[in-house]
Structure 1
């Protein structure tokens, strides 16, 4: 089954049977449920929703279905066309809209698409709001408007430029230093909207951009998740062009990774570490990331006199804790930078601007910058369990066994040992436990993961 309905939206593969895949009927049904939720937030004469999409082949079709469903409910739509997730998030409050929808399956392959749902602040819905939309979709009691009360679609294709303006207006973005540094970078836009937005931002900053896969045609030239094993072409291009570094984003431009001048990964875990280092050096404060992210952020935060805290996995959980702790920067170890000075959402454009500012001021190479941070290595594995097994009981047994250690149970079980950590989480969709580890060497991280796979197998009797 490739249709996944969750509190954060709906995603699935294009084509196939209704209810099993993301078909036109499923897109309309879920858009109508979202429209119902929008209209229940408050009573008013006119409602407005911002809609944008990445460059997926199915994007134009799905966007047309979604927008016209909202029009049929009497909701006005601002059509951003090809856009990015953070651009839509920025546009919602600027438009004084009641919400927003981004049509993207993020790092999933081209056969996937999804509806990501935003509230009137341009932020992802929380669990309670998402559950209401699922209930509306299940009830199938949508009320559409009569012919004299239909909504209208207004096209506005300027928002990527507006988003860039907002980034460049941030006090910590040192455009003058960046321009003086005369950087040369290679940009892998994975043939989606990052190929539009990132080169435009770099041009405004006086950075020479060598475009690699920046044609927004939805034909992803490699697996679109920005991981080392997918980026051999970027590595070669950085070396061949003798570039200062490489930039890669995912299709909807909320994840960001860098490659150093030697064509080696800076490490997507360190995207947030570097940006936080820069922000904290200017505006001391606290940070938040999810508990499967690198310990290096905690080290850097404490170096600057701040307090670090980890949230449960998931952007909405990170944002919630960021607001509670009044942090100056946060995000996720997958290359997601959340800078509240602009908005509470992962934003690769903000990340690029902050990273360039840091490099320009330090006047060092990307490889030299990496060496200034604590060096950690992560392991990511999983163990399959039988469907009838009580996964919660297995995790409880681990919690009991390590009760004397520094343990968090807000999201599975995370055990912080003095020199490494392990995080065990059960999947919401299949009988597996995901195992994340971090240590001072890759061998130690992998060994720690293997150790817990053995312990979990022993407890589960498999």
Structure 2
């Protein structure tokens, strides 16, 4: 029967997420997966679907539910087990699968889990693909396979090894130079999927690894999002171990945050900035990032005479724009780095290697590397706002706040490039609010922009 998603489930372009045992149940996971598999078989040629998960305690239960749903509609499942999310997408490409499913709630707390849906192109569903699948799910009853046409299950224990070798073979990396630098790296993998794989990659690059949260048992000891406020313990580890750099990844290993040699978190936007500096030094070309990413990425691109193009927020939006522009690197300001030479997906393992390459090539400490670039302050807020009044709200902001450049491709972005300031206002996809984010060389100016926008939008409440 058609599936009606319950209240409390958060629905995005690339999938669904919810609290385990509340909005998210094995029965729902089975139903969505069956619908997705049937939809894929209707629009693609083939029947192979790749499945992987992060280390959450609910992962085995939900993976079995997903597997059952896929098999019930005749899909053959390639089960990767616990792997980074980018490994899943690379495996979709490797197996020439009709799609893939990641059982992961990424940076969400341990009580959450999710389905992330992957197309045959080995990228997450875009808006068009998501709309088609959601229409199918809401209106169609997936045809079940008879007993002799049920899908099979095969394990693929080599997916991460292929991913690892692909990183080490990248022409953008001088692996021998990195090995000669003999870095000591402190790592916090928050007991997610990254512990074993990040350690193996760094050791292959000649690093001494000291780690916390390396066992992928899914027992997150803190908020798993790798933001500055969550990296205090990693900062202490950097100091105690006299590490050259600290790396933190989220549970599904697609976002990387950096802690410098003094134990100070650098901020997630600087992950992309330093990765761009690493790549553009050898391969100048177009950089793509989203509308809410720091101007420091634009500063780096400009220094290498490389154009920067901005896309709407969301990994798949950046990936699509990178494909269209032939970009050499891109990503988002949340620590997500995308290198098309490897794949069109955010990859924390890749990002860590690019950062080490940059530090080794320039013979810099992390604090020296970021000290080459201007510093900015970002302020964020959200305010209740009716979606039906968005157009009027944007018009008022353009009239009252101004901006030397304006972009309406994803909400409204007003920018003052000569002052290093911008303001981005965009609706939430999951609640009746608008998100406000501003950046400026000073926190006071960024706060003023956010406060001014909030005050103007308050007229509509």
Range into which the TM-score falls when normalised by the shorter chain: over 0.9
Residue by residue over 1:344-382, the C-alpha shift from the partner in whole angstroms, topping out at 9 and shown as x without a partner, is: 000111111111111111111011111011211211111
Query: How far apart are the structure 2 equivalents of 1:151 and 1:205?
Result: 40
Alpha-carbon shift at residue 403 of structure 1 (Å): 5.4
Whole-angstrom distance in 1 between the partners of 2:326 and 2:402: 31
In structure 2, stretches of 5+ residues that fail to align are: 1-6
Q: Does 1:9 align with 2:10?
A: no
2:107 maps to which residue? Answer: 107
How far off its partner does 1:140 sit? 4.4
Question: Conserved in 1, the CA contact under 8 Å of 2:403 and 2:414?
Answer: no
What SS does the corresponding residue of 1:100 show, helix, strand or coil?
strand
Deviation string, structure 1 residues 40-71 (Cα, Å, up to 9, x no partner) = 1234xx41011000001100000011012111
* Residue pairs, 1:188-267, within 5 angstroms: 188-267=188-267
CA deviation profile, 1:203-230 (whole Å, cap 9, x unmatched): 1111111110111111111001111111
5 Å-filtered alignment, 1:57-136, equals: 57-136=57-136
Corresponding residue for 2:444? 443
Q: Is 1:337–2:337 an aligned residue pair?
A: yes
Alignment pair present for 1:428 and 2:429: yes
Give the 3 Å change call, closer, same or farther, for CA 374–225 of structure 1 in structure 2.
same
| Structure-2 separation of matches of 1:217 and 1:198 | 15
Per-residue deviation, residues 102-140 of structure 1 (Å, max 9, x unmatched): 110111101111110111221011111111221222124
**Does the 8 A contact of 2:170 with 2:342 survive in 1?**
yes
Residues of 2 paired with 1:425 and 1:388: CA distance?
10
SS at match of 1:344: coil
* Contact 2:245-2:258 within 8 A present in 1 as well: yes
- 1:428 deviates by 2.3
Q: 1:140 to 1:110 in 2, by over 3 A?
A: farther
Aligned counterpart in structure 1 of residue 38 of structure 2, from 25, 36, 43: 36
1:269-316 deviation digits (Å, cap 9, x = unpaired):
010111111111101101110000011111211221111111111111
Cα deviation, residue 448, structure 1: 2.3
1:327 aligns to what SS in structure 2?
Answer: coil
* Conserved? CA contact 1:8–1:116, under 8 Å: yes
TM alignment of 1:15-30, pairs within 5 A: 15-16=21-22, 21-30=23-32
The answer to whether the 8 Å contact 1:52/1:80 transfers is yes
CA distance in 2, matches of 1:179, 1:77: 38
CA distance, structure 1, for counterparts of residue 403 and residue 330 of structure 2 = 29
Output the TM-score relative to the length of structure 1. Answer: 0.95
Q: Is the 8 A contact 1:10 1:30 kept in 2?
A: no
CA distance in 2, matches of 1:139, 1:161: 40
Work out the CA distance in 1 between the residues paired with 2:13 and 2:248: 28
Equivalence map 1:44-59=2 (5 Å): 46-59=46-59
Structure 1 vs Structure 2 CA RMSD: 1.4
Cα distance, 1:407 vs structure 2 = 0.7
Match of 1:390, SS?
A: helix
- Structure 1: which 5+ runs fail to align? none
Q: 2:4 matched to which residue of 1? A: none
Partners in 1 of 2:100 and 2:192 — Cα distance? 20
Displaced runs of 4 or more, over 4 A: none
1:388 to partner: Cα distance: 8.3
Structure-1 separation of matches of 2:134 and 2:20: 20
1:376-455 matched pairs, under 5 angstroms: 376-385=376-385, 387=386, 390-402=389-401, 405-417=404-416, 418-419=418-419, 420-455=421-456
2:380 match: secondary structure: strand
1:430: Cα distance to partner? 2.0
- 2:321 matched to which residue of 1? 321
Q: SS at 2:281's partner residue?
A: helix
Q: Is contact 2:231-2:265 (8 Å) kept?
A: no
Using the size of structure 2 for normalisation, the TM-score is: 0.95
Structure 2 distance, partners of 1:162, 1:389, is 48
CA distance in 1, matches of 2:403, 2:380: 25
Q: How many residues align?
A: 453
SS of residue in 1 equivalent to 2:337? strand
In structure 2, how many angstroms separate the alpha carbons of the residues matched to 1:393 and 1:15? 40
Q: Deviations over 1:192-212 (max 9, x none)?
A: 111121111101111111110
Name the residue aligned to 2:165.
165
